[in-house]
Amino acid sequence: MQQFLFQDDQSVKPQIKGPLKFTPRDYQAEAIGNFYDLIDDGSPGAIARCFTGGGKTFMGAMAAERWLRRSSDHYVMVLAHERQLVNQFRSELGDFLRIPVGLEMGTDGSVAFGGYGTPRVTVASRATLAEKGGCSRLYKFSYEKHWLVIIDECHRYAYSLPSCKHIIDWFENNPESKRLGLSATPERGDGISLRRLFPDVALDYKMFGEEKNAIRDGWCVPFDQRFVSVEGVDFQNIKEVNGDFDIEELDEALRQREALLSMVRPMMDLVEDRRTIIFSPTVKMARAVAHTINEFRPGAAQALDGSAGDELKEERYSQHQTGQFQFLSVCGLCREGYNDPGIEAVAVFRPTKSRSLAEQMKGRGCRPLRGVLDGLLTAEERRAAIAASLKPNCMIIDLVGVTGLPPVASTAHLLASGKPDEVIQRANQNAMKNKGPTDMVEELAKAERQISEENDAAKQRYLEQQRIEKEAADRLARIKGEVRYSTSQVADGNGVAKRELKGVKKEITEMPFGKFQGEPIKDLPDYYLNWAIEKCKGGSLQKALRKEVSRRGGMNAPATEKQINVLSRFGYATDGLTQAQAGDIITNQINKRTMSRV
């Protein structure tokens, strides 16, 4: 039963201790300012889209701090879907706000059933708040209070999901409660809209956006795109499930020994000593990749997946971050909320058609090293600092099959931001030809220039052809048609008519213009003859041209008996000859031979 199990007047109400410890970036302040403008105008909630590494947790802390200052009856609930994200958000919120932050996850609960003391801020896992038989740990939290519900990685939520609906409904019992969604990639793979949860947008700042671009603005490191060819694998033939590659077929194709070696060896050569994270489609694949790396460089790789316990995962993460091994091969981990600025290379051994998933994986390496951007106010200063740092870029390795780059969300797709497919395809083709570092932003710009130049050249050729044809048509139009006509007069009384022919001119036998000017019409090529007829606007020239066409039609008839006799007398074969062919032989060969004897 949904009921309150505590008394409101005994809730814990610690005070915010002064301003936040950190100074917000301009876009962070803009996002929270926009959010409060929207909800104060009556919106139930808004989403803040911010690039990976853009400080979404800090934006959540800013929103929470401002909400809590409104009154002692204002509370904050943060929802996350993974234990790692719950702990991370709770730790950072406590650091930012400098107040105790409650926890509601698994066996941990800051609010006990029948107990007292609701923390002003609680971080909870969605699974822990699940409803079973009408009961949920959610119902410990009074909806009569004014709640700001902050949903981390909000693209994983939808009102239609059973694990989400009761949470939204519970807090919506109080119309004064509001929602803030945080995500770098708010598009859901199933196409379900988030508008029911977040009807408004407080910020739309993409890593690769057209207007707001975190790489261009110097908040993220640029990507160095590389490609590895996978021998014996044709991505075009792997079937799809829900718009993406079938995981089992993809795993089976890539784990073949030849394919595995063709991925691992070039990848190791490319990244050299860079600390690298590798994304694989399955647990078996992740382990096979780590095993293969260790064959060539013992102890250089570790595999990790969701089945590992929390302690083991934290241990492996720490070992990788401190450089105890170079390659972290994962399946189903680290795509969201994993904060490691030291990652210098990302190998995507899990091709995907989902742009959101591709951005999540490749975004793991986009963070600048800690301290590099401190105190820098302009994009130019930040880009220069990144270029001069120990991590001037992040290497991204994508797979190429035997039929070329698969139809996946490549780095070019992410950077293109709505550019035509031909630009993306050309940029990828150019990048695959490069032997050294490749900046896909530059490759996209280069591809646009190439296509623009090719289009301009094609346009000029087309216009020139049109000009030539117009000039020819104008010359034809200026030729006065020669007209044959007659007049007649009836004599008075006797009915005798007097007829007089007028305008009788010599028939045209030569082309009066063009590249065949002066040539006999009978010698014009067929294609030119047909073109000239179409361009003529009537008149005697068109008549002469049509007459020649009719003549040629007759000349295609079989040779006459007279022609055959002449040819036979001089020893020429006559089988299959047309009148035109026979006439040509008689005129140009037999007659010339006869004349030479005279």
How does pLDDT run across 48-78, given as a tens digit for each residue? 999 888 888 899 999 999 999 999 999 999 9
User: Is 242 part of any domain?
Assistant: yes
Residues 174 and 304 in one domain: no
Residues 288 and 387 in one domain: yes
- In terms of Cα–Cα distance, which of 579, 480, 469, 581 is closest to 539? 480
Alpha-helix residue ranges (DSSP H) falling in 213-340 = 247-254, 257-271, 283-296, 310-321
Query: Residue 529 belongs to what domain range?
Result: 485-555
Residues 155 and 304 in one domain: no
CA distance 331 to 283: 6
pLDDT score for 510 = 87
Low-confidence ranges of the chain (pLDDT < 70): 1-21, 109-116, 189, 209-210, 231-246, 250-255, 337, 400-421, 424, 435-441, 477-506, 534, 537-538, 554-557, 580, 587-588, 592-598
CA distance 361 to 280: 10
Q: How many CB atoms lie within 10 A of CB 252?
A: 16
User: Is 311 part of any domain?
Assistant: yes
- In terms of Cα–Cα distance, which of 402, 456, 454 is closest to 423? 454
DSSP string, 4-32: --S-GGGS--PPP-SS-SSPPPHHHHHHH
Residues 372 and 420 in one domain: yes
Residues 434 and 491 in one domain: no
CA distance 529 to 511: 10
Residues 431 and 489 in one domain: no
What totals of helices (H) and strands (E) does the chain contain, helices first?
18, 18
User: Is 30 part of any domain?
Assistant: yes
pLDDT score for 271 = 92
pLDDT score for 551 = 76
User: Is 217 part of any domain?
Assistant: no
Give the C-alpha distances (Å, rounded to integers) separating 325 from 187, 201, 318, 583.
34, 41, 10, 89
pLDDT score for 70 = 93
Quick one: tokens of 499?
Answer: 């007829």
User: Is 477 part of any domain?
Assistant: no
pLDDT score for 243 = 64
User: Is 470 part of any domain?
Assistant: no
Residues 64 and 172 in one domain: yes
Give the C-alpha distances (Å, rounded to integers) separating 501 from 347, 481, 504, 509, 598.
91, 17, 7, 22, 45
CA distance 76 to 148: 5
User: Is 462 part of any domain?
Assistant: no
CATH at residue 104: 3.40.50.300
- In terms of Cα–Cα distance, which of 271, 277, 440 is closest to 364? 277
Residues 201 and 80 in one domain: yes
pLDDT score for 62 = 93
Strands across the sheet with 102-105, in order? 108-109, 102-105, 121-125, 74-80, 146-152, 178-183, 45-50, 200-205
User: Is 457 part of any domain?
Assistant: no
Residues 417 and 526 in one domain: no
pLDDT score for 578 = 75
Residues 89 and 114 in one domain: yes
Our count of domains for the chain comes to: 4
Tens of pLDDT, residue by residue over 502-514, are 444 567 888 887 7
Residues 291 and 385 in one domain: yes
Residues 190 and 227 in one domain: no
Domain stop point among 407, 434, 452: 452
Quick one: tokens of 233?
Answer: 């694998």
Domain stop point among 452, 477, 495: 452
